[in-house]
Amino acid sequence: MIRYSLRCDQGHDFDGWFRSSEAFETMRAAGHAACTRCGSTKVEKSLMAPAVSAPRQAGSDANPVEAALNALRQQVEANSDYVGLKFADEARAMHEGRAPSRAIHGEARPEEARKLIEEGVPVAPLPFIPRQKTN
């Protein structure tokens, strides 16, 4: 859906929602795009600026959810060992007693995580966005 700021030939401004630019043009040509104040069907798109939100600053507490997740991440990282892609193997080894028990965090494919849960290995997903940038 596209929102257009519209103006009739009488100078009245109003908004209209359309499926596409082509849909607006079709409705306007058929006389179905009309002013909400006076009913004029001589309607044109008026200038409008897109709604763009300001970029967030790193470390900003503008979003309480992001701040809470950041604090949780810092707590996890400070109190556990990062084992990377070996998470499933490490968690399984600790569960089976082949490795000493310790707090770990890392990465696992969804299939690996499901298998750990099915095996009774106590794991939980963390709601973190990877730190590395991806395209």
Distance CA 2, CA 57 (A): 29
> In this structure, what are the phi and psi dihedrals at residue 61, rounded to the nearest 5 degrees?
-95, 25
Tens place of pLDDT for every residue, the chain, 135 residues?
A: 788 889 999 999 988 888 888 888 999 999 888 988 899 999 998 766 566 666 655 555 557 888 888 888 899 999 999 999 999 999 999 999 999 999 999 999 889 988 998 999 999 888 887 666 544
In the DSSP assignment, the letter for residue 74 is H
In the DSSP assignment, the letter for residue 48 is -
pTM: 0.50
Question: CA nearest 91: which of 58, 117, 55, 62?
Answer: 117
